[in-house]
Structure 1
Amino acid sequence: MLKQRAVAGRLEAAAHGQVESLVRKETRDGKPFWELVLADAEAKITLRAWSDAPAYALCEELSVGVFLEVTGEFVHNGGFGLDAKRWAARELTAEERDTLLAGSPELREKQAADYGFIEQATIAVSDPRLRELAALFLGEYGARFRRAAAARGNHHARRGGLVEHVAQMMRSALAIAGAYPALNRDLLTAGVLFHDAGKLWENSLPADGFVMPFDERGEMLGHITIGIELVNALWRKVLATEAAATWGTLRPASEDVRLHLLHLLAAHHGELQFGSPVVPKTPEAWALHYVDNLDAKMEMMTAAYATSRSLAPRIQERVWPLPGNLVTPLEKFTPPDSTPPESAS
C-alpha cells in the first residue's frame, strides 16, 4: 500500500486506497479528530486528522468509498498506532483506481496460483459425489469466491483472502492426510473447500471496491448456517444430474457422505462458545478445525510482526487476538561453510 522514501531522517510515503470508514471522534481531553481507514487489495491503514491540521478540513469533505492518494510523513504515534504528519490527499484518476483494484502483480500471481491449486486438488478427489459438488461450486461461485475475504479482521481480511486461506489449509490438510492414512482424504479436501463458503455472503466484497458491506443474510444466519444451506442446495443439483444415476451402489452411501460433510462445516470452530452448533465428532472434523486454526494464527502472527511496536530487543507488542507479546522467531539453521579455510602462508 505504501510507496515510501527516507528524506532527511523522515519517512515520506504515498498510499493509494479506498476510504473504508470515516468517523469523527474526540480524545479523552475533548480534542476532536477524524479517523480515516484506507483499504486496498492487501491491507488497511488508519489515519488521523487532528483539529489543528489542514487534513481536518479535508476530511469534512470526504465520504466513504472515495479512492484517494494520501501523502505525508508516516510515523508511529504512541498508543494511536500509525499516524501521518502533515498529510494531504487527492482523488485518484480512473486509471489509477483501476490499477489499484487489480492489486499488485505479486498478489494477483499468488492468488491465481492459490486458486489453481484449489482447482487441481478438488479435481483429484476420488469420490465422484464430492468431486462434482466441488466443480459445481467453483463453476457457479468462482468469481465471488475469488473476491471474498476470510474475515473482517484478524486474518486474511482482504479481497481474495478466502482463496489464500482455503488454499493454504488444503495444503496442510493433504499433508496431514498423508501422515494419518486413516483420515478420509476426499472428505477432508471437500470440508476445507466448503468450511467457510458462507463467507461468500458474510464477507463479500464488490467487484469495484474494497469496502466490505454488511449483508443481512450474513448478519441473521452467519457463515456456518449459510454454508450448510449452500452445500445442501448444490447437493440437490448434483443428485439431479445424469451421472448421479450411477451412484446408487457406491459406498459409503451418498446420504452418509452428505451428512459427514455437513458435520465438518458445523463443527469447524471447534467449540460451542466459538460459534459451532456442535463440537467435532469425527477425525476429519478435528483435523479440519486444527488446520483452520493453525492457518489463521500463522497469518495473524505474520501481520503482527510486520506492524506491532517494538518493546525491547526481539520483543514486540501484543496484537489482538493473539494472547501475548511477540518474540522474534529463531532463525533457521545455516550449515557452516564446508570449504576448508585457506592455509596460512
Structure 2
Amino acid sequence: MRKTIKINELKAGGTVDDLFAVRLKKSIGPYKGGTTFHLWVSDPGGDISLKYWGDKDNVAIQKIWDGISKGSVLRVKGRVNEYNGSLELHVNPTSGDSITVLDEGDFDIRDFVASTPMDIEQMKGHLFSVIRKIDDPWLKEALSYFFADEEFVRNFCECPASITHHANWLGGLLEHTLRVVKLCESYCQIYPDLDRNLLLTGAIFHDIGKLRDYKVTSIIGSTDEGRLIGHLVIGAEMVHDACRFIEGFPSELSMKLQHLVLSSHGTTEFGSPKVPMFPEAVALSLADLTDTRIEDMIMVKSNPNTEEDWAQNKSVGSVYLR
C-alpha cells in the first residue's frame, strides 16, 4: 500500500485511510468509554497527534498498544479533528475506524522519509570541487581522511540535516553543508582577512557528527550516542581523531578545527558547548544560523496549514504569509 495524502494536506472534518509512521508512543489509560491511547505519527508532511478511543475490551486494546513501537508503520482509518487550534487524528473503532500495524515490505520507505529535491551527484561534485581548491596541505589531508573514504561519502550524501526542522530529508546534510559553504565563500569575498582554507574546511566539517547522531528507518530518529553526547561533540571528536591520525598535524590547527565544530551553533542557548572565539568561527556560526532560519521560515510559508495571513511556529515565531 502507498500513501495518498500527507499530514500537511489534511483538513479538519475529513476522514482518512492512509499510512503513517509512529514517532512517539505517549500514553495508554482509561477514559469514561473504555481505554484510550495517544501517539504522535509522521510523514514527509509533518507530525500529528493520534488518539485512539477504544471500548471496554481492555485486553484487545492493550494488544494493539503492545504491537506498536517507535518507527512502526500504521494503516489508520479515522477522522481528522481540530483541538485547541491543532489538527488531530481520532480513531474510534465503534464507528468503524481502525489501526493496523504493517509488516516490513508492505510499505515503501520513500513514503515516510523524503529525499532532497536537488541532484545528489551534482551537489557531491560541487563539494569535491571546493575540497580540491583547499590549498593548505594539512587541511587538505584532514578533508581527504574523510572524503577519500567511499563509505563515508555515501553516508554523508544520504544523511538528513535534522530530525524535524531544516532539510530533514535524505541528502539534507549535503544540501545544508553546501549552502553553508557558499555563504562562507561570500564572507571571504567581503572580508578578505578571513582564512578561507580554515573557514571552508570548518564549514564542510561542522555537521559531520550527524552521521552518528541520526538513524533513518520509517522516521528520522536519534541514536543513543546522539542523544547523550550530541552531534557537535561527536563531530569535534571525529575531527580530533582525524588530526591525530595524520602524522605531524599541527596541534593548534587541530584545536581550531574542533572549535569551529563546537561553536558552530553560536551560543550555548542554541546548543554550542563553546561560543565562537575567532573570526572564522563567528562567520561559520552565522552562516549556519542564516541557512537554518531562512530554510525553516520558507518551510512554514510553503506549508502554512492556515488560511490566515499569519502562521505561528514554535521554532521561528510569527511568519507573515502574504
Q: TM-score range by the shorter chain?
A: 0.7 to 0.9
Deviation at 1:88, TM superposition (A): 4.2
Aligned sequence identity (%): 23
Name which of 303, 314, 317 aligns with 1:320: 314
Contact 1:133/1:234 (8 A) holds in 2: yes
Distance in 2 (alpha carbons) for counterparts of 1:36 and 1:111: 34
Q: Give the match's secondary structure for 2:274.
A: coil
Q: Give the match's secondary structure for 2:207.
A: coil
Q: Give the match's secondary structure for 1:239.
A: coil
Distance in 2 (alpha carbons) for counterparts of 1:26 and 1:172: 51
Distance in 1 (alpha carbons) for counterparts of 2:100 and 2:260: 48
- Structure 2: unaligned runs, 5 residues or longer: 92-96
Structure 1 partner of 2:259: 263
Contact 2:3/2:111 (8 A) holds in 1: no
- Structure 1: unaligned runs, 5 residues or longer: 245-253, 330-345
Using the size of structure 1 for normalisation, the TM-score is 0.71
Name which of 209, 212, 221 aligns with 1:212: 221
Structure 1 partner of 2:274: 278
Provide closer, same or farther for how the CA distance between residues 17 and 170 of structure 1 changes in structure 2, counting only shifts above 3 A: farther
143-152 vs 276-285, greater mean Cα deviation: 143-152
The CA RMSD over aligned residues, in Å, is: 3.9
Distance in 1 (alpha carbons) for counterparts of 2:30 and 2:165: 25
Is residue 3 from structure 1 mapped to residue 7 from structure 2 by the alignment? no
Contact 1:17/1:100 (8 A) holds in 2: no
Structure 2 partner of 1:201: 212
Deviation at 1:83, TM superposition (A): 2.4
Provide closer, same or farther for how the CA distance between residues 298 and 15 of structure 1 changes in structure 2, counting only shifts above 3 A: farther
Is residue 170 from structure 1 mapped to residue 181 from structure 2 by the alignment? yes
Distance in 2 (alpha carbons) for counterparts of 1:27 and 1:290: 49
Contact 2:120/2:171 (8 A) holds in 1: yes
Q: Deviations over 1:152-188 (max 9, x none)?
A: 4443344443333222212222233233332222222
Deviation at 1:17, TM superposition (A): 4.1
Letter in 1 for 2:286: Y
Name which of 287, 292, 297 aligns with 2:288: 292
1:33-44 equivalences under 5 Å are 33-40=36-43, 42-44=44-46
Contact 2:210/2:231 (8 A) holds in 1: yes
Is residue 23 from structure 1 mapped to residue 31 from structure 2 by the alignment? no
1:151-170 equivalences under 5 Å are 151-170=162-181
Structure 1 partner of 2:94: none
| Higher alpha-carbon Rg | 1
Deviation at 1:193, TM superposition (A): 1.6
Name which of 79, 98, 101 aligns with 2:84: 79
144-153 vs 166-175, greater mean Cα deviation: 144-153
Deviation at 1:319, TM superposition (A): 1.0
Structure 2 partner of 1:191: 202
Ranges of 4+ aligned residues in structure 1 off by more than 6 Å? 26-32
Letter in 1 for 2:315: P
Letter in 1 for 2:244: R
Distance in 2 (alpha carbons) for counterparts of 1:30 and 1:271: 49
91-100 vs 61-70, greater mean Cα deviation: 91-100
Contact 1:74/1:84 (8 A) holds in 2: yes
Deviation at 1:290, TM superposition (A): 0.7
Distance in 1 (alpha carbons) for counterparts of 2:252 and 2:230: 25
